[in-house]
């Protein structure tokens, strides 16, 4: 990790930069080519990309019920039990987010209300590869079910043998998702955007992925399909004071670094001793990780920064706007009250970020790359639309009508005013 001691506030902006992604134009161009190919050739294009990019020769893009049954038998009982417990916690937290219908009179005879309506068809993209994210399927599938989305389409890449990871299929079965497509990468997002014979076009696309998937989601948004949020590589910022346990902090940093070589971890401390011990412990624990090569690459773009006060650390964090924020400090509750920009916050020495990744109940699909300044993580709200309604009685129109007429005339929108004037005249004739 890069160690920086007591940088001035003028230097903070440079230290808050995320790792450069590079080749953005080439990625965007390739994604556009894939979208055009999938639009023109449909399933044929998806089968082609499965062979070329995933090394899989597929007879069918859809996962069959028989494949699901066979996969469930391969998932160890203890893992099944863990997933079920995580499911319950996530469901409990998200079910509490339901809002009742808000109905009120803004003035006598003018009634307004708002109703939550589920997004009708959602697409969930779940990466496979070296780290099949079945936990993300829980994070997306549970609120989609609670919201009442009538149709859920799951896309996930196949392995070289043409199968889908058994734990992903077990989780899909637990969620009651039966439309499962063997498609990954930008081509899956393209299929969800425009539809093919095997893949229904959806209204909104959720899920993480590499830079090609991210670029594909952004292109989907340009073509009229909503997405959950802009997303990039995973990141964590840890604020650690003199009471922090360096072993715990190092483990938290590495838990994000092992996600991928473009992940970023940031340590802030006002204790030179803690900073030194954590960086040493990171190197010790790194050698023990199966994914140590991946984590080591991420650490090259990561920083350990020594600041003078708790106030400075909190200000730096709010400017950085981390996806995950860990407050490994003595009075975490007090510091948490000052957090204004973060995806999800973990308070105290016994609350690892990994708990939120899997099973505490909060959602781990969170804004990255500084988007926590203006985006929230995925919640039940992500899967519903809030539609407003209104009804006006004769008495209400007599009271409200002149207000609308005056405002419309002032804006020079005569037809707006006339829409009220004609109705008021009809009431006088009754």
Q: How far is CA 44 from CA 37, 47, 52, 125, 177, in A?
A: 9, 5, 12, 20, 24
The residue from 324, 353, 409, 429 that is catalytic is 324
Tell me if 411 is assigned to a ligand binding site. Answer: yes
Picking from 253, 307, 260, the residue whose alpha carbon sits closest to that of residue 283 is: 253
Tell me if 161 is assigned to a ligand binding site. Answer: no
Residues β-bridged to residue 112: 104, 390
Please state the φ and ψ torsions of residue 152, each to the nearest 5 degrees. Answer: -125, 125
The length of the chain is 430
Sheet of 303-306, strand order: 2-5, 303-306, 264-269, 235-240, 324-328, 344-347
Q: Give the 3-state secondary structure of residue 3.
A: strand
The answer to whether residue 292 is catalytic is no
348 CA to centre of own chain: 24
Tell me if 357 is assigned to a ligand binding site. Answer: yes
Q: What is the 3-state secondary structure (H, E, C) of 218-265?
A: HHHHHCCCEECCCCCCCEEEEEECCCCCHHHHHHHHHHHHCCCCCCEE
DSSP state of 199: S
- Pairing status of strand 264-269 against strand 235-240: parallel
Please state the φ and ψ torsions of residue 426, each to the nearest 5 degrees. Answer: -65, -30
- Pairing status of strand 102-107 against strand 110-118: antiparallel
Tell me if 320 is assigned to a ligand binding site. Answer: no
Tell me if 258 is assigned to a ligand binding site. Answer: no
The residue from 323, 330, 409, 430 that is catalytic is 323
Tell me if 111 is assigned to a ligand binding site. Answer: no
CA distance 94 to 138: 12
Tell me if 178 is assigned to a ligand binding site. Answer: no
CB atoms within 10 A of CB 246: 21
CB atoms within 10 A of CB 146: 18
The answer to whether residue 324 is catalytic is yes
Tell me if 125 is assigned to a ligand binding site. Answer: yes
What are the residues whose beta carbons fall under 8 Å from the beta carbon of 376, sequence distance 6 or more? Answer: 367
CB atoms within 10 A of CB 350: 10
DSSP E strands in 142-234: the ranges are: 151-156, 179-182, 204-206, 226-227
Residue ranges of the annotated binding site are 125, 187, 210, 234, 256, 259, 324, 357, 411, 416
Residue ranges of the annotated binding site for Zn(2+) are 256, 259, 357, 416
Residue ranges of the annotated binding site for substrate are 234, 256, 259, 324, 357, 411, 416
Question: Residues with catalytic annotation?
Answer: 323-324
Residue ranges of the annotated binding site for NAD(+) are 125, 187, 210
């Amino acid at each position: 990790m890069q160690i920086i001691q007591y940088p001035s506030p003028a230097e903070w902006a440079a230290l808050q930069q995320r790792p450069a992604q590079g080749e953005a134009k080439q990625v965007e161009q390739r994604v556009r080519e894939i979208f055009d190919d999938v639009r023109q050739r449909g399933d044929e294009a998806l089968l082609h990309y499965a062979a070329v990019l995933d090394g899989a020769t597929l007879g069918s893009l859809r996962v069959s019920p028989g494949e699901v049954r066979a996969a469930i038998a391969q998932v160890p009982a203890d893992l099944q039990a863990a997933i079920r417990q995580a499911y319950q916690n996530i469901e409990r937290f998200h079910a509490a987010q339901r809002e009742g219908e808000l109905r009120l009179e803004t003035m006598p005879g003018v009634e307004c209300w708002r109703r939550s309506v589920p997004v009708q068809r959602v697409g969930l993209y779940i990466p496979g590869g070296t780290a099949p994210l079945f936990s993300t399927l829980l994070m997306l599938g549970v609120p989609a079910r609670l919201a009442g989305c009538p149709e859920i389409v799951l896309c996930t890449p196949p392995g070289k043998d043409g199968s889908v990871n058994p734990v992903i299929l077990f989780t899909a079965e637990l969620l009651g998702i039966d439309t499962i497509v063997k498609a990954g990468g930008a081509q899956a997002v393209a299929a969800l955007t425009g539809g093919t014979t095997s893949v229904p076009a959806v209204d909104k696309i959720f899920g993480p992925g590499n830079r090609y998937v991210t670029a594909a989601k952004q292109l989907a948004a340009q073509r009229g399909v909503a997405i959950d949020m802009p997303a990039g590589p995973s990141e964590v910022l840890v604020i650690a004071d003199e009471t922090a346990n360096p072993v715990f902090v190092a483990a938290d940093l590495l838990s994000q670094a092992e996600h991928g070589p473009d992940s970023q971890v940031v340590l802030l401390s006002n204790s030179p001793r803690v900073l030194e011990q954590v960086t040493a412990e990171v190197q010790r624990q790194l050698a023990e990780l199966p994914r140590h090569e991946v984590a080591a690459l991420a650490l090259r773009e990561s920083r350990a920064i020594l600041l003078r006060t708790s106030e400075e650390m909190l200000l730096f964090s709010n400017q950085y706007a981390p996806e995950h924020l860990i407050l490994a400090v003595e009075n975490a509750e007090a510091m948490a009250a000052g957090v204004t920009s973060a995806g999800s916050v973990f308070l105290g020495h016994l609350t690892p970020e990994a708990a939120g990744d899997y099973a505490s109940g909060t959602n781990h699909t969170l804004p990255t790359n500084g988007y926590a300044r203006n985006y929230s993580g995925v919640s039940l709200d992500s899967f519903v639309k809030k539609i407003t309604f209104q009804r006006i009685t004769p008495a209400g129109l007599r009271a409200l009508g002149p207000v609308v007429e005056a405002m419309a005339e002032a804006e020079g929108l005569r037809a707006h005013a006339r829409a009220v004037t004609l109705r008021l005249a009809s009431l006088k004739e009754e």
